[in-house]
Structure 1
Amino acid sequence: MEKQAKWDFSETNLANFGSNIEKEAHYQAGAQEQAWADPATKVGIEAGLWVWRIEKFTVKAWPKNKYGEFYSGDSYIVLHSYKKNKDSEALAHDIHFWLGLDSSQDEIGTAAYKTVELDDFLGTSPVQYREVQDNESTLFITYFPHFRVEEGGISSGFNHHSPKEYRHRLLKIKLIKRTVVVREVPKDYTSLNSGDVFVLDTGVILYQLNGKNSHGVEKVKAAEFVQAVESERSGLAKTIVIDEGDREMPKFWEALGSSGPIKPASEDKDSDIANIPKKLFRVSDSSGSLTFTEESGPISLSRFDTNDVFVFDAIHTVFIWIGLKSTVKEKKYSLQYAQEYIKKFNRPAHTPITRIMEGGENEFFLKSFEEKTI
């Protein structure tokens, strides 16, 4: 399976989400997928978190001790099941398919298709999310106490090496909401900012660079991370802690291989999104032809009409809300309209897209009416 340097995620989609798929056929296909159909997995039976990796067109359970660890060359399916009402045993489900930027089109397609199968297996009630590496939704990140993305993947034969052979990398440690996120970033000074902590891993020496405006918890988690790496390498690696601007900065620049001004925290792409106005669009064929029109006025849940489909740009996510009485045509083309909207209004192509059925609104969706930023 040939890897692509970067896939065009603006052209990927939710693989028939919301269209009139042959539900019974999909249920049978989903029921045959042993990754979740085996009663021992407890999928659909109890609350919890499940992660699967796509490996050569198949769905493989990801080890629980690796939950929160992802590789850029892979695609994953993540299921979060929970009790929506404490007074009821009924479960609600969030299904995410996570796409690494170096994942193959085959893996991406398999992840999307298998997500549809899992949706049907659970009764077509889950909320479904497309997650793109480096631009994950806040909800997705908060599932994991630690979130980490590294290069490599199933088809690259990625393995951890001994310290002297270990691949040099630059890692960014950032606090997003209540989760500390660890991402591998390009090994260049332009990846740095004053608001975060960075770890430059050269194999034998780990450089922890504390941005002058970084959070204390980021420094603590970075320290925990390098200690874990040192332990993993049997104590052969050591760590040098450097505060931005101190006299040991030349050591860091030399190890990094480039140097230059460190941008302020406000210029970091992971910082809170500016106060962009939210938008609501209606997808309807009530006039005899399919239209996509912007709704004016304040946006609230009461504006959503059961007879139509709506595209809601909540800034951090573009939601596709499917009315229970919407037509097949409205459902079928809603994703296309959502993607065209993202392009036309110059929203980032990696903006998460979430499909949600009327009656299945979760807290993440409902809070989007009041929040201004992620």
Structure 2
Amino acid sequence: MADEEFESIGKQPGLTVWRIENFKLIRIQKNRFGTFYSGDSYLVLNTRGSNSSNLEWDIHFWLGSGSTLDEMATAAIKAVELDDYLGGRPVQYREIQYFESKLFKSYFPNGIRYLQGGVASGFNSIEKLKHIKRLYMVKGKRDIRIIEVPFSGSSLNKSDVFIVEDANDIYEWCPPGSNRIERLKANTYAMQIRDDEYGGKSKIHLIEDDWDSHGQFWSFFDIKSDQVKENSDVEDKEFEQNFINENIQLYRVSDLKSKTPTVTKVASGPLKKSMLDSNDCFIVDCAENGIYTWIGRRCTKNEKISSILAAKELMIKNNYPNYIPMSQVIDCGETTTFKSLFTDWN
């Protein structure tokens, strides 16, 4: 039986976001889109198309760095249930905090905002927020993000923008080493915090020329400006990587010769489109660049399930980092990124 949350979604273009709470889906209000708690897991559905007759879907389950195993498992299970509810046609993506796909990040034009804590932290009235102080780092060159960091002078550096959230006052601290894009995004974030968290009542203070002498800002910290680190401990990461053909492996998942599907290595890159067969499922292993499962139109249910399990086993067997992307695509519904893995697929 389908989750009752699925009954009214996927019929019109747009975005739907749920948080996992006690094994259930709790829908997130639109004005909270792009804000994720590190202690939670989320399910995201993007419905695209010009009208109801040609809709397509992308399903993402987002796993916070502090999310429990139960929450992670529930998010993955709900993603499969949603996929089945929509006829097995959506493309599925697993998203790991800090390592989200480019597509996922595109849903949130104002960027992704990470908050510490979990479900219990997500319900704060304005009165409660008046007693909360938060420090955010705004960082990046192309993929700008806002990350809540420990409220301490040791978190500051002179190469990124920082925001102090102090109820009625929001401070944008822009040291000389921060870049223009970070400053623009920080201003957008500050206004979003003001409007979404405090009903537009907080005052935003822009700190640029007096970055090293602003009295109220430095009163929050136990260090002075000349003690702040020059550079961040965290490097700006570029997540777009070129796929290396020599590292690509193709596996077939088939139950043609036995009741139990078997996994067989078909080829090492470069790959050709003709290597795929609609009667079976395939796994494309691109090492740390990601793992794809390709679901043939005429595959069996056992092959589909086995391909997903086999992809996860490959991650464990090859000792891949937990953050590498895993995606599921369907026959005749391949993404441009997936097609680019094959030398003859335009």
TM class by shorter chain equals 0.7 to 0.9
Aligned residues: 330
| Equivalent position to 2:320, from 338, 341, 347 | 347
Given the alignment of the two structures, is residue 261 of structure 1 paired with residue 229 of structure 2, yes or no? yes
- CA deviation vs aligned residue, 1:92-146 (integer Å, no higher than 9, x gap): 1111122223333333333222222211111111111122222211111101222
Given the alignment of the two structures, is residue 117 of structure 1 paired with residue 81 of structure 2, yes or no? yes
Q: 2: CA distance between counterparts of 1:130 and 1:36?
A: 19
User: Can you give the 5+ residue segments of structure 1 that lack an aligned partner in the other structure?
Assistant: 1-28
- CA deviation vs aligned residue, 1:288-327 (integer Å, no higher than 9, x gap): 7834537323245444343341233275542122233556
Given the alignment of the two structures, is residue 312 of structure 1 paired with residue 276 of structure 2, yes or no? no
Q: 1: CA distance between counterparts of 2:125 and 2:137?
A: 16
8 A Cα contact 2:63 2:97, kept in partner: yes
| Equivalent position to 1:148, from 113, 134, 138 | 113
8 A Cα contact 1:279 1:313, kept in partner: yes
- Give the match for residue 66 of structure 1: 32
Q: Match of 1:310, as an amino acid?
A: I
| 1:295 match: secondary structure | strand
| Equivalent position to 2:102, from 131, 134, 138 | 138
**Residues 200 and 341 of structure 1: CA distance in aligned 2, closer, same or farther (over 3 Å):** farther
| Structure-to-structure mapping, 1:43-58, within 5 angstroms | 43-58=9-24
| 1:46 match: secondary structure | coil
- Give the match for residue 138 of structure 2: 172
- Give the match for residue 4 of structure 2: 34
Q: 2: CA distance between counterparts of 1:89 and 1:262?
A: 55
- Give the match for residue 70 of structure 2: 106
Q: 2: CA distance between counterparts of 1:348 and 1:72?
A: 18
| Structure-to-structure mapping, 1:348-363, within 5 angstroms | 348-363=321-336
**Residues 264 and 70 of structure 1: CA distance in aligned 2, closer, same or farther (over 3 Å):** closer
Q: Match of 1:296, as an amino acid?
A: S
Q: Return the TM-score normalized by structure 1.
A: 0.71
| 1:94 match: secondary structure | strand
| Structure-to-structure mapping, 1:236-315, within 5 angstroms | 239-242=205-208, 247-248=212-213, 255=220, 261-263=229-231, 268=235, 270-272=237-239, 277=244, 278-284=247-253, 290-293=262-265, 295-299=267-271, 301-306=273-278, 307-313=280-286, 315=288
8 A Cα contact 1:167 1:203, kept in partner: yes
8 A Cα contact 1:73 1:102, kept in partner: yes
**Residues 302 and 274 of structure 1: CA distance in aligned 2, closer, same or farther (over 3 Å):** same
Q: Match of 2:135, as an amino acid?
A: R
Q: 2: CA distance between counterparts of 1:202 and 1:88?
A: 45
Q: 1: CA distance between counterparts of 2:90 and 2:177?
A: 40
Identity %: 33
Given the alignment of the two structures, is residue 222 of structure 1 paired with residue 224 of structure 2, yes or no? no
Given the alignment of the two structures, is residue 126 of structure 1 paired with residue 90 of structure 2, yes or no? yes
8 A Cα contact 2:135 2:148, kept in partner: yes
**Residues 70 and 300 of structure 1: CA distance in aligned 2, closer, same or farther (over 3 Å):** farther
**Residues 149 and 347 of structure 1: CA distance in aligned 2, closer, same or farther (over 3 Å):** same
Q: 2: CA distance between counterparts of 1:367 and 1:189?
A: 45
8 A Cα contact 1:95 1:126, kept in partner: yes
**Residues 65 and 158 of structure 1: CA distance in aligned 2, closer, same or farther (over 3 Å):** closer
| 1:338 match: secondary structure | helix
| 1:109 match: secondary structure | helix
Q: 1: CA distance between counterparts of 2:155 and 2:277?
A: 44
| Structure-to-structure mapping, 1:203-218, within 5 angstroms | 206-210=170-174, 214-218=178-182
| 1:45 match: secondary structure | coil
**Residues 66 and 235 of structure 1: CA distance in aligned 2, closer, same or farther (over 3 Å):** closer
Q: 1: CA distance between counterparts of 2:63 and 2:20?
A: 10
- CA deviation vs aligned residue, 1:65-107 (integer Å, no higher than 9, x gap): 2222222233222111112xx7993211111122223333333
8 A Cα contact 1:299 1:369, kept in partner: yes
8 A Cα contact 2:37 2:116, kept in partner: yes
Distance apart, 1:361 and its partner CA: 1.1
Q: 2: CA distance between counterparts of 1:203 and 1:314?
A: 45
User: Can you give the 5+ residue segments of structure 2 that lack an aligned partner in the other structure?
Assistant: none
- Which deviates further from its counterpart, 111-120 or 334-343? 334-343
- Which deviates further from its counterpart, 92-101 or 299-308? 299-308
Q: Match of 2:251, as an amino acid?
A: R
Q: Match of 1:347, as an amino acid?
A: Y
Q: Match of 1:219, as an amino acid?
A: R
Q: Which has the higher contact order (CA 8 A, sep 6+)?
A: 1
Q: Return the TM-score normalized by structure 2.
A: 0.76
